[in-house]
Every structure is written in C-alpha cells, then in structure tokens.
Amino acid sequence: MRRGSITECYRRCGKPSCACVAPDHPGHGPYYAFTTKVDGKTKTLQLRPGPLLTKVEREVATYRDFRSTCGKLLEVNEAICDARPVDATGQEKKRRSPTPSRTRSSPKSKPW
C-alpha cells in the first residue's frame, strides 16, 4: 500500500499551430502524477499509462481501504469507550475477572 494521490491532467503545448490552442480542445494527455509527502516535503512522480500506473493505482486504493477500515475500527472503539460505566469518583468501573475453576491437580493413579 502507498500513501498519496494520483491526478490526471491535460496540458497545452503552447505551439500556435497546434490543435490544443482551440478553446474547446482539452489539451494533450492524459498525464498522471503521483503525489505524496515525505518528511514534510511534497514528492511527485510523473506516470504514463501502463503497468507502473496500474500498480501505483492499486497501491493507493489499498491504502484508502486501510484508512477506511481504521476509521471504522476507531468508531467502534469510541462506542465501546462511551458505553463503559463510570463510578461516583469518575473512574471507570473495573470488571472482575471470572475466578478460575478449581480442578484436581493430581490425576488418579492407574492400577497397573
């Protein structure tokens, strides 16, 4: 999985005789850029359509699924924390652990 985002853009080349000069033309592309933060700095990787773009898209999607699952887990955890009872002193009530059942530690001896 990989943190970051992928953007798709179209660009105009700037040549006066090119078709991209027309106002209704979207421009050349699509071009793809993978952007992420590393040590507080933005890093960008330019990508072309192909196997590398597909791989990075899959990794970014996996990270989004991971973040979504973490968010759901935190919501459940907060609901559990809110449901825990509090005593008069403001402390959480501690639940008693069940006492272990007492069994004989010595097995019966065999006659042979």
Residue 91 lies in a domain: no
pLDDT beyond 80 at 95: no
Whether residue 76 contacts residue 65, with contact meaning beta carbons closer than 8 Å, is answered with no
Specify the number of domains making up the chain: 1
Between CA 55 and CA 48 the distance in angstroms is 12
Range of the domain at 25: 5-83
Mean pLDDT of 29-38: 94
Q: If we measure between CA atoms, which residue out of 94, 76, 77 comes closest to residue 85?
A: 94
The tens digit of pLDDT for each residue in 38-92 reads: 999 999 999 999 999 999 999 999 999 999 999 999 999 999 998 988 877 767 6
Instruction: State the chain's mean pLDDT as an integer.
Output: 86
Mean pLDDT of 18-33: 90
SS3 (DSSP) at 4: coil
